[in-house]
Amino acid sequence: MLYQINTRALLNEIARDCGRSVTLDDIPDAILDRWQSMGFEWIWLLSVWQTGDAARQVSRSHHDWQQEFARNLPDLREDDIQGSGFAITDYHVHQQMGGDESLARLRERLKARGLKLMLDFVPNHMAPDHVWIESHPEWFITGTEEQLRREPQNYFRHPSGQVFAFGRDPYFSGWPDTIQLDYSSPALLQAMDGEMQRIASQCDGVRCDMAMLIQPDVFQRTWGRPALPFWEQTIQQIKSNDPKFCFLAEVYWDREWELQQLGFDYCYDKRLYDRLLHENARSVHMHLVAGLDYQNRQARFLENHDEPRIASVLEKSKHFAAAIVCYLTPGLQFFHEGQFEGRRIKISPHLVRRPVEEQNPEIAGFYERLRGLLKLPMRTDAKWLLLDAKPAWDGNTSHESLICFRWKSPDNRQLVIAVNYSDKPSQGRLRINIDSSCVAEVVWHEWMTNTILRHHRGELFNPGMLLDLAPWEYRVLLETDD
């Protein structure tokens, strides 16, 4: 499991409680202990790198961003706006956080608790006041006066007088607090490889921002020039020194398999996220048909710093049903700070403060039960299989709204999950083969409600377990020895 932390917001809250400025050294042991007790393997500290004044001034003056900031933080102050953590001036830890030495000490504290550290790598662009602008302007995409006149949303005039391109993807206007790197330059590739090497020496894994943007065909489509391949060679080089170093790609446009083949350990499963929020059970089921060589390397999530808070977009019953599907299927379980408490306000990565929100006890209780299940050896050592529900009786097609799968442990115990992913009642039969012929009655622990269910062994296989589920209802059945 991976837990994303808004580092700047966390430090802001610690500073408020302490009544003084703080660094990474001031994160209390109690917080680290809590992360450990929650069952996480990975802690992703968002936005620890040095940022500068140029991007901060853009953030403080951009009209549309200002409106967004004020909507989500009504008592907004100028000091709350410190610029995007993705407009990086230097891949050293921010001086206000205590620098690289403070991060190294925090990493050791995490390691003592069995926690691994993940940090950001932003390959596509830098902040406008990065030192390379002066020393190596040829490493960035430049523009013409005509392009600046025709596309002011994509180009800007640097104080040096030269026209440069904002960082962007091919489907949107540029990010006006960034400057685009030129991946057709062999020297730039070598320099970025050096940055990646330095980052890798400070953590156990990296989350690579918009990783598909520097793929040669995407870069060609965006900038009209051939890019040199970066990922495969860089990943191989890092892993030759540390085979366990982890690469997580933020990737869209159904390019996950492609990046997995380049060496990424995990890729964002944005397609599952979209299906869970906007499509039906059949769509989700078909997504889960994919082979395990693909699914095991997907990062499953319901929210992150880019997406809206899940509690703000789904009512609780659908939220919980989506979480059961998302986090009990194979892959990396990716959670966002505040998700467990039911936070509803998404905070921009340009801000270092977030509003105070009351915890939702029902959401907190749900995730506490779910995390307990995810920590079980039964879940981590078992094999996964997608199941097909059958009609409960002739003419009843409501079983098509059921998403069903199971995990089977090495000792043949099963964890069976069935979710009615619809707003109407659903019935179906689920055939389950119990390996032991000595068992006449199978006893299940329904994990999320902490209740006991019993089925005759023969009934489970023919005609199958009867499922009669209300809208968005689910069963999480752990086979027991009782």
Residue 18: other Cβ atoms inside 10 A: 11
What is the per-residue pLDDT for 437? 61
Q: Which region, left, alpha or beta, applies to residue 211 given φ > 0 means left and ψ of -120 to 50 means alpha?
A: alpha
Task: Output the pLDDT for position 438.
Answer: 61
Quick one: CA torsion of 56, 62, 63, 68, rounded to 10 degrees? -60
Domains and CATH numbers, the chain: 2-379 (3.20.20.80), 382-479 (2.60.40.1180)
Q: pLDDT tens string for the chain (482 positions)?
A: 999 999 999 999 999 999 999 999 999 999 999 999 999 999 999 999 999 999 999 999 999 999 999 999 999 999 999 999 999 999 999 999 999 999 999 999 999 999 999 999 999 999 999 999 999 999 999 999 999 999 999 999 999 899 999 999 999 999 999 999 999 999 999 999 999 999 999 999 999 999 999 999 999 999 999 899 999 999 999 999 999 999 999 999 999 999 999 999 999 999 999 999 999 999 999 999 999 999 999 999 999 999 999 999 999 999 999 999 999 999 999 999 999 999 999 999 999 999 999 999 999 999 999 999 999 887 677 899 999 999 999 999 999 999 999 999 988 889 999 999 999 999 999 999 887 666 788 999 999 999 999 999 888 989 999 999 999 999 999 999 77
What is the pTM (predicted TM-score) of this model? 0.96
385: which 2 tokens? 């299989």
Phi first, then psi, for residue 293 (nearest 5°) are: -65, -25
CB-based contacts of 224-233 (< 8 A; 24+ apart in sequence): 225/182, 225/184, 226/184, 227/183, 227/184, 228/183, 228/184, 228/185, 228/186, 228/189, 230/123, 230/183, 230/189, 230/192, 230/193, 231/259, 231/262, 231/263, 231/264, 232/262, 232/263, 233/193
Q: CA separation (Å) from 58 to 73, 176, 188?
A: 18, 7, 25
Q: What tokens does 167 get?
A: 């960082």
